[in-house]
Amino acid sequence: MKIAIIDVGTNTTRLLIAEVEGGHIVREQTRLSRITRLGAGLDASGRLDEDALARVHAALSEYTTTVRGLADIQQVEVLMTSAVRDAKNGRQFADDVLFRYGVRVHVISGEEEAQLTYRGATDELEPDDQARTLVLDIGGGSTELIVGNGQLASFNVSTQIGVVRHSDRHIKSDPPAAEELDAMAKDVRATLAEAVPEPERGNVVRALAVAGTPTSLAAIDQELDPYDPAKVHGYKLTRQAVARLYAQLRDKPLAELKQLKGLHPDRAGVIVPGALILAEVMELFSLGAVQVSEHDILRGAAVSLANEPAAQKQGARRGWRRLFSKQRT
């Protein structure tokens, strides 16, 4: 079964088209990402900004055109996460996407986001692999922390920690002032300590770090130009390497960060908060290293959608094809 998943995140809007068989991804056909910063200014205003909405709509128009051009897509779903959950006009935006593009829209809860992320990150583990695993997803508006054994998650929490949220909240200088970074670290540390009970913090054998912060740090550490997913996926970031990268990045002005090899220019404004958050998570769980993963919520959502009951699949398929047909007329 071929599935298309669009993830409307707080910082990025992404597309995955993948083939799913036997409850696993067997091939990724297309993976696209656009940095749209939907959550810019949300922490202060409580609303999705019109310019940010326009950036997301541009990405959605591109992605849905791509999907419409492929006759063998059997399921399509748009996921919306922290920014849409939190915004006063989030539901209005979700409804607009449904009727404008004719795709099923799912505004997922923090718990759903965590579970789908864990499922995607552990998709390739062997069934008998029961190692205690932490999956961490540092997003634009929230950070998900999920602990489990092998592919079975036993604890998850979605925190109000995010690279866009905390950049907007704390960073006013370029480069960030020491007191701004100290305030951010204190904020992140307190939120993590409250969110994760002591018993869940120990005995982690494997830590998988997904999303833009760890993948960008892995690319920077290797000076990748252009970005190479094959060299990023599975890359080991030690605690010492994260501390070194954070120290390297925090004193650079934005213009210099945008020129840094391995870092996408559009991610330059949030890489310092991201590195700080990653360092604080590693400290909380006493992690010596994390393994960077390209497998994330997109894969988890694709597998989940493929495993839906047949009647639910059929209804969704009729819905998006009917709406696409209306758009063509």
Both structure tokens of 279:
């360092």
CATH class of 125-293: alpha beta
Plot region of 287 (φ>0 → left; ψ -120 to 50 → alpha; else → beta): beta
- Decide: helix, strand or coil at residue 20: strand
- Taking only the tens place, the pLDDT of each residue in 241-278 is 999 999 999 999 999 999 999 999 999 999 999 999 99
d(CA 18, CA 30): 7
Task: Spell out, as residue ranges, where the chain has pLDDT lower than 50.
Answer: 310-311, 313-329
pLDDT at 128: 85
Is the Cβ–Cβ distance between 35 and 267 less than 8 Å?
yes
Supply the pTM of this predicted model. 0.85
* Domain boundary assignment for the chain: 2-111+298-328, 125-293
- C-alpha distance from residue 325 to each of 72, 219, 318 (Å): 16, 41, 10
CATH domain 2-111+298-328 topology: Nucleotidyltransferase; domain 5 (3.30.420)
**Helix boundaries (H) for 204-270:** 212-222, 229-232, 239-250, 254-257
Instruction: Decide if 2-111+298-328 and 125-293 have a common fold.
Output: yes
- Taking only the tens place, the pLDDT of each residue in 173-202 is 999 999 999 999 999 999 999 999 999 999
- Decide: helix, strand or coil at residue 212: helix
